[in-house]
Amino acid sequence: MDITKQFGERVRYFRKLKKLSQDELADLCNLHRTYIGSVERGERNITLINANKIANALSVNLADLVSNDD
């Protein structure tokens, strides 16, 4: 699987686990909702800075977003 799609699926998994909407996650990250949506769909080659913002907002390690282990 493409790394961007895998990353996006992991973001969506943890976002739903935390019961957050895309809007809520975007607000926590200081990013736009459409950006979060495109990340979750694997349409973005996300920067490490933004990946770290998302990981922090989800209270997970950045490694958790690139691992396929649950």
Assigned token pair, 33: 């909702």
pTM score, whole prediction: 0.91
Q: What is the pLDDT of residue 69?
A: 62
Tens digit of each residue's pLDDT, the chain (70 residues): 799 999 999 999 999 999 999 999 999 999 999 999 999 999 999 999 999 999 999 999 999 998 876 5
| Identity of the amino acid at 3 | I
CA angle 49, 10, 32 (to 5 degrees): 50
Residue type, 31: L
The whole-number pLDDT of residue 67 equals 82
**Cβ atoms of residues 58 and 30 within 8 Å:** no
